[in-house]
Amino acid sequence: MLGHEEEKGIMFLTVEELFSKISSYSSDRDYKIKLWYLEIYNENIKDLLNPNDENCDLREDPQKGTIVSNISELNVSTSNDIMNLVRQGNKNRTQEATNANETSSRSHAILQILVEYKEKVTGIDAEIKIGKLSLIDLAGSERAKDTLNKGIRLLEGANINRSLLTLGNCINALCEANEKGTKPYVPYRDSKLTRLLKVN
């Protein structure tokens, strides 16, 4: 996702493109950009930009949809601001060695960028429009017989696989409903990952 200086990854390229678009419209619009960066580890949510022992909760808000309580929301103004915060947050991610990978990510990391803007010419009563971009570094699925995991590593692998299965089930349900033109039942609530990514 991140890549490196010689070869930028998807996350860096996406953020650069976002700010390029914002720059091209900024003569007519006022923008405000903020972000939060979190990980989901064993179905617990942790703030990667303000790490402590407390887990964050998911809550349902009638206007905003699913929100994360007590998460750090930081204002940013450049793509470098974002990437510096991502690098800082990645130092706080849960990683452990397994037989399959020396530095295996044991969590899903989710960067959410909220972009608000309003047209300059409309004055103080301008309608504010909001868009949210989610960039996700998923932990890889694991086969217990390949990793030979035991104890907490085995539990981590089971939680990773369960959330990835739920993500796949949600995508399949949405695709099937789109093809048939029906209103689907989508099992968002089976995982914190899919609850967080649900679009209202």
pLDDT at site 66: 86
Rounded to whole angstroms, what are the CA distances from 54 to 48, 51, 69, 85, 196?
11, 8, 11, 20, 18
User: How many Å apart are CA 35 and CA 44, to the nearest integer?
Assistant: 19
Q: Is the dihedral of CA 91, 92, 93, 95 positive or negative?
A: positive
pLDDT at site 200: 63
**Count of other CB atoms within 10 angstroms of residue 51:** 14
pLDDT at site 51: 86
pLDDT at site 151: 67
pLDDT at site 154: 76
User: How many Å apart are CA 20 and CA 111, to the nearest integer?
Assistant: 19
Task: Name the strand (E) or helix (H) holding 133.
Answer: strand 129-137
Q: Which one, of 136, 146, 153, 19, lies nearest residue 86 by Cα?
A: 136
pLDDT at site 58: 92
> Which residues lie closer than 8 Å to 84 by C-beta, 6 or more apart?
none
Per-residue pLDDT of the chain (200 residues; tens, 9 = 90+): 777 767 888 999 999 999 999 999 999 999 999 999 999 999 999 999 998 878 999 998 887 788 899 999 999 999 999 999 999 999 998 875 554 544 457 789 999 999 999 998 876 677 889 999 999 999 877 565 555 556 677 788 888 899 999 999 999 999 999 998 888 899 999 999 999 998 76
Contact in structure between 12 and 83 (CB atoms under 8 Å): yes
pLDDT at site 145: 53
pLDDT at site 36: 96
User: How many Å apart are CA 94 and CA 89, to the nearest integer?
Assistant: 11
Contact in structure between 178 and 62 (CB atoms under 8 Å): no
